[in-house]
Amino acid sequence: MTKLTSQEIVEMNKEYTFFSWSVQGQVNPIPVEKAEGVYFWDTDGKRYLDFSSQLMNTNIGHQHPKVVKAIQEQAGKLCFVHPGSATDVRGLLGKKLAEVTPGDLKKTFFALGGSEANENAIKIARFYTGRHKILARYRSYHGATHGSIALTGDYRRLAVEPTMPGGVHFLDPFCYRCPFGQKKESCARECIKHLEEVIRYEGPDKIAAIIMEGVVGSNGLIVPPDDYWPRVREICDKYGILLISDEVMSGWGRTGQWFAVDNWGVTPDIITTAKGITSGYLPLGAVIVSEKIAKFFDDKYLYAGLTYNGHTLACAAALATIEVYDEDNLLENAREMGKYLGEKLEAIKLRHVSVGDVRYIGLFTTLELVQNRESKEIMPASVMGEVGKILRDNGLFTFIMANNMGSMVFVVPPLCINKQQIDEGLAIVEKALEAADRQVGK
C-alpha cells in the first residue's frame, strides 16, 4: 500500500468520514501513527503527551503489551461467535466483574459502549420495576443513542429532541456554581431537598430509576459532597427506586478506586461502564446488576439483545486490562499521582487569574477558566480556541470544553503517568494559561 502523507490522511478522513460532535468543515484532526504509554506520535513524527487518555478511556496507557498479546491470541483462536454461545472469556470476565464491583452486583449484560450500556440499563430498570420514568441530572452525558441522549442533560440533547419519553432532569450538586445560590459554608444540601421534591412531583410510583455519573465527566468534572451519594441511596431505598451509577468515564481506577461510588461506600443497584474496561483497545460496554435484579429474569424474558453481546475479542481484552490494573498497581498510582496533581493545580490557580476553580479526585481533574473570578463569567470560546492551539503546538493533547456549561481544560492522563510527565504537561498548560490571563477583566 502506498504510504500517504499527513495532509493526504487528513484530507481523506475529512472528505469521506464524519467526525463526532463538530462542524465538519472546521475539524482539524491530528493524523496519528503510533502510541506508547502516555505519548502518541503523528505521521510527521511529532510527539504529544496525552493529557486526556484520548477520550478519558485509555486508562492503562497506550499499547500495553499484555493486552495487545491477549487480543492477538484470542484472534488466532476465535474472533466471533453467536451471542447465545458460551465462551471461556465471557464467563471469566463476568465473574471478574462480580468480584471488582461493590456489594452484591453480580450479573452482566455486555454491550459495545457506554451509550448501549445505558440504553439497556433503562430497559432492565423498567422491566424490573414496572415503572417508566428515569431521573437524571442536567450536567450529565449518558450517551448518544435514543434513550441515553434523552437522559443526557447537556446541550447535545436539545438538537435531537423529541427523544425517548420518561426522562426527567434535576439540578446538580455543583458547589462552584451552586444552582441554589449557596456557598460551601452555608450549604444545607438544597440539592438533596430539590431531588426529593422532584420525586414527589413526578410520582415516586412512576419512577424506575435515578441515573447519575459517579463523578460528572465532560460537563465539568463535578465531584459531589461526601454525603451526596449516600443520601441519594437513602432516597432511592425510601421510594423503591433503583439507583444506577454511570461509571463509563469515572470507573476503572480513574478516581483512585475501581468505581467512583467506591469513594463513598455506596452500592448502586446497577453499574453501567465501558471505556476503561478495555482501556479503549476494543469496544466493550457492560451493565452489571444486583443479584436480586438478576434473579428476576430467571423466569422472565429479557427483551434485550445485541449481535456483539459477549464479543470474544473484547472480553479477552477486558480480562487482560483488569489484570494490568492489578499487576501495575494503577489504582494506587492514581491515588498517589492524583494527590500530587491536585496540589500542583491548586498552585497553578494561585498563579493564574484566569483559573476560577480546580476540581480533582484521583487522576480525574479540570481547571475552569473565567473572565472574572468574582462574577465567574465564562471564558469565551475564542479564547479557549487560542488556549487549545497553544497546547497542541507545544505537544500536549487534552479535552477542552467551551460552551454554556463552562470553559475548562481537563487533565485526565493515563493512570500509569509519573510526576515528571505530570510536570512536563503542566508546564505546557501554564503557557496556554498566560494567553487566558490576558483576557481577564476585558
Q: How many CB atoms lie within 10 A of CB 153?
A: 21
Rounded percentage of the chain residues whose pLDDT exceeds 70: 100
Q: Return the axis-axis angle of helices 312-327 and 65-77, rounded to nearest 10°.
A: 150
Taking 90 as the threshold, does the pLDDT of residue 2 lie above it?
no
* Range name among 24-33, 48-57, 184-193, 356-365 with the lowest pLDDT average: 184-193
**Confidence label for 374 from pLDDT (cuts 50, 70 and 90):** very high
**Residue extents of the structural domains in the chain:** 31-60+329-437, 66-327
Q: Which helix (H) or strand (E) holds 32?
A: strand 32-36
* Secondary structure (3-state) at 145: coil
What per-residue confidence (pLDDT) applies to 184?
Answer: 81
Average pLDDT for 229-233: 98
pLDDT tens-place string over residues 104-139: 999 999 999 999 999 999 999 999 999 999 999 999
Q: How many CA atoms lie within 13 A of 363 on its CB side?
A: 33
**Confidence label for 183 from pLDDT (cuts 50, 70 and 90):** confident
Taking 80 as the threshold, does the pLDDT of residue 1 lie above it?
no
Taking 80 as the threshold, does the pLDDT of residue 268 lie above it?
yes
Burial category of 414 from C-beta neighbours within 10 Å (exposed 0-12, middle 13-18, buried 19 and up): buried
8 A C-beta contact, residue 136 and residue 211: yes
Domain 66-327 has CATH 3.40.640.10: yes
User: pTM for this structure?
Assistant: 0.97
| Nearest-angstrom CA–CA distance, 158 and 439 | 30
Under CATH, what is the fold of the domain 31-60+329-437?
Aspartate Aminotransferase, domain 1 (3.90.1150)
| Nearest-angstrom CA–CA distance, 163 and 238 | 29
Taking 90 as the threshold, does the pLDDT of residue 186 lie above it?
no
Average pLDDT for 355-379: 97
Cell numbers at 342, concatenated: 491536585
> Locate cell 463535578: which residue?
222
